[in-house]
């Protein structure tokens, strides 16, 4: 994964004619931390996990990046995602650098108490290298507002009241209005900008969304509210499809009750992988990395891919899509709504002042539309694809 991220970087560096020494400096993480997390299970056994934090670059401000709890989490994943955060915050022009981290634990196999112990032990071991002006974690895969609240609480034990140490916190613990849906809302703005370039709107397109977690579900809801037709989606349980359009409010009620999209009565079951190649105008990969590969990119039927997930497209897949004339709105642009509203949350914490929801959404829209415009203008003027232009 790190190799793929660096390949995309080097393609842009080739166009910029960056010297090798500068490339090395820009690609090398500032700090890499690995810790051993030993905690006790509910039945008294010892649990052993590893924790990671890769702090890539702090030239533009405090480092910023998610905290992922997933069995696949390792140093390579953290390094790749940390560098993407550096480029992402630069693309949307907010004063942060990039970081990423997490643990290789599997929350689906842990009780809430066990997850709490792992989280607080992680903070205890990492507390010297994170902080409101150093490195500010946020939710990522398998972490949420509750986990962020635990982190803030644990960090506060050592350094006093510090709401700015993490973002994506619950509202009652100094979180921001609009943060939960921010990434999905940013995806919607990016897609709107793409469509507006040739006089279309969301009501003119059908959309397939791989992943119905926080990002995918919010993107689906917001796009549907603007008239977009969501024709397929999926999660760990499999996929569902309805060519006439899935009733997204009903699906949200279903998943709130059942936890998964499988069995939803308003759509037909399909294989989860088929969501990526389902016939739709727009494809939004909103799950994990490497969803689009050389094996399936030739089967994609969408005209545009909006990368709501981090690194969902391998370089080989990107090249196939580019040759086929399929536009890819890259992750470092399309999913930057989350880190943008995290910046707003952090700013509110520093100011000890809460913004109203309208202000959060208006500021997010301004940032996303400006960033898309600058990338699209550069792509047009240079003949580059949007990903290379963004990098």
Active-site amino acid positions:
100
What does the angle CA 113 – CA 115 – CA 119 come to, to the nearest 5 degrees?
A: 115
Core vs surface per residue 179-193: b (16+ CB within 10 A) or e: bbbbbbbbbbbbbbb
Rounded Cα distance between 66 and 48, Å, is 22
Core vs surface per residue 17-43: b (16+ CB within 10 A) or e: ebeeeebeebbebbebbebebebeeee
Rounded Cα distance between 194 and 200, Å, is 9
CA-based nearest residue to 291, from 337, 253, 328, 258: 328
CA-based nearest residue to 195, from 228, 162, 220: 228
Query: Distance of CA 20 to CAs 16, 24, 25, Å?
Result: 12, 6, 9
Rounded Cα distance between 224 and 85, Å, is 28
Q: Which two tokens stand for residue 41?
A: 């299970």
């Amino acid at each position: 994964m790190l190799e793929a991220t660096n390949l995309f970087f080097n393609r842009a560096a080739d166009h910029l004619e960056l010297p090798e020494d500068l490339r090395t400096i820009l690609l090398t993480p500032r700090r890499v931390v690995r810790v051993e997390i030993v905690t006790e299970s509910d039945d008294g056994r010892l649990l052993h996990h590893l924790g990671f934090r890769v702090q890539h670059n702090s030239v533009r401000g405090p480092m910023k990046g998610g905290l992922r709890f997933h069995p696949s989490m390792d140093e390579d994943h953290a390094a790749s995602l940390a560098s993407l955060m550096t480029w992402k915050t630069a693309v949307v022009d907010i004063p942060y650098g990039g970081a990423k981290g997490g643990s290789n634990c599997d929350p689906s196999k842990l009780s809430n108490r066990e997850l709490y112990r792992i989280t607080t032990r992680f903070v205890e071991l990492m507390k010297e290298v994170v902080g409101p002006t150093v490195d500010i974690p946020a939710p990522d895969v398998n972490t949420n507002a509750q986990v962020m609240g635990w982190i803030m609480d644990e960090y506060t034990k050592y350094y006093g009241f510090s709401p700015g140490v993490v973002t994506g916190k619950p509202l009652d613990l100094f979180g921001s209005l609009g943060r939960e849906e921010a990434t999905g809302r940013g995806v919607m703005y990016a897609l709107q900008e793409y469509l507006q370039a040739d006089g279309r709107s969301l009501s003119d397109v059908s959309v397939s969304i791989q992943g119905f977690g926080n990002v995918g579900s919010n993107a689906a809801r917001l796009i549907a509210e603007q008239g977009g037709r969501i024709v397929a989606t999926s999660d760990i349980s499999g996929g569902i499809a309805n060519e006439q359009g899935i009733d997204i409010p009903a699906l949200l009620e279903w998943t709130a009750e059942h936890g998964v999209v499988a069995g939803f009565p308003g759509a037909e079951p399909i294989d989860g992988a088929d969501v990526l190649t389902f016939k739709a105008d727009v494809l939004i990969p909103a799950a994990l990395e490497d969803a689009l590969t050389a094996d399936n990119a030739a089967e994609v039927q969408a005209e545009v891919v909006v990368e709501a997930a981090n690194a969902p497209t391998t370089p080989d897949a990107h090249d196939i899509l580019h040759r086929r004339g399929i536009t890819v709105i890259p992750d470092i642009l399309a999913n930057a709504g989350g880190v943008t509203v995290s910046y707003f949350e952090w700013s509110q914490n520093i100011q000890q002042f809460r913004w109203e929801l309208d202000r959060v959404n208006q500021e997010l829209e301004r940032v996303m539309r400006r960033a898309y415009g600058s990338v699209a203008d550069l792509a047009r003027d240079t003949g580059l694809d949007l990903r290379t232009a963004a990098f």
